[in-house]
Amino acid sequence: MSKYQHIKQKAYEANMQLPKLGLVLFTFGNVSAADRELGVFAIKPSGVPYDELTPEKMVIVDFDGNTIEGDLRPSSDTKTHAVLYKHWDGINGIVHTHSTYATAWAQAQRCIPVFGTTHADHLTVDVPCAPPMSDELIAGDYEYQTGHQIINHFKENDLDHQEVEMILVGNHAPFTWGKTAEKAVYNSAVLEAVAHMAHLTEQIDNYAPRLKDSLIKKHYERKHGPDSYYGQ
């Protein structure tokens, strides 16, 4: 048995959640699961339909994007995953989808305003949207540069990747991450729900105000603060 079996299994299970949660059509989307000690991650193979996936088909890649084990070609977005693992500590799972509502905000190149407590339960700021890639970056090593586009946007906006576990890439679609692949998938589903609600909010009232600070703080801290009391 492969010494990478544990992350192949995790990546497989997390990938299979995407169609179940309605976050992907056909083969759009991919999840990876990393093992920091081994310095590798397991990722979905490119272009393989979800109903044909097995744990054995997952491809093992290092944080420089080199394939270490696997017969199939890894997801075309593999270099973006590699860059994020290499530069950001504490994340062990990454998800990329073209889920409808989150992608619509990315296409409109807009951050998702924090309109309500569903959003504030997960993050206290607007969901960030990185600018679209420049022609120079698109012509270069596109997927690798997409990773740097995300990291640079976090740096420039003083965002912490352990607090804000999601981003929209302008003109493209969302990426989410987390301490585990499971958490990264959860974040993708939350992002899609928040994107849908924010869209409907603006449909009802184009001038809907952002959530007030007291409620943002209250909701975030009851789940994440030192005195959190949400859940068991």
Contact residues for Zn ion, defined by CB under 5 A:
173
Catalytic choice (35, 62, 121, 126):
121
Nearer to Zn ion, 185 or 216 (CB): 185
Nearer to Zn ion, 67 or 171 (CB): 171
In whole angstroms, the minimum distance from the beta carbon of 26 to Zn ion comes to 12
Residues 6+ apart with CB under 8 A from 58: 7, 8, 11, 12, 42, 43, 44, 45, 70
With contact defined as beta carbons under 8 Å apart, do 188 and 99 qualify?
Answer: yes
Residue nearest to Zn ion (CB): 173
In whole angstroms, the minimum distance from the beta carbon of 61 to Zn ion comes to 17
Q: Is 121 marked active-site?
A: yes
Only one residue has tokens 């493209």, namely 172
Cα–Cα distance, 38 to 62 (Å, whole number): 9
What's the chain's Rg over C-alpha atoms? Answer: 18
Nearer to Zn ion, 83 or 114 (CB): 83
- Return the exposure string of 42-68: e unless at least 16 CB atoms fall within 10 Å of the residue's CB, then b: bbbbeebebeebebebbbbbebebebe
Cα–Cα distance, 39 to 66 (Å, whole number): 11
In whole angstroms, the minimum distance from the beta carbon of 28 to Zn ion comes to 7
Q: Is 186 marked active-site?
A: no
Strand order in the sheet with 30-35: 67-69, 59-62, 40-43, 30-35, 93-96, 174-178, 166-169, 129-130
Nearer to Zn ion, 148 or 222 (CB): 148
In whole angstroms, the minimum distance from the beta carbon of 232 to Zn ion comes to 37
Active site residues per annotation = 121, 230
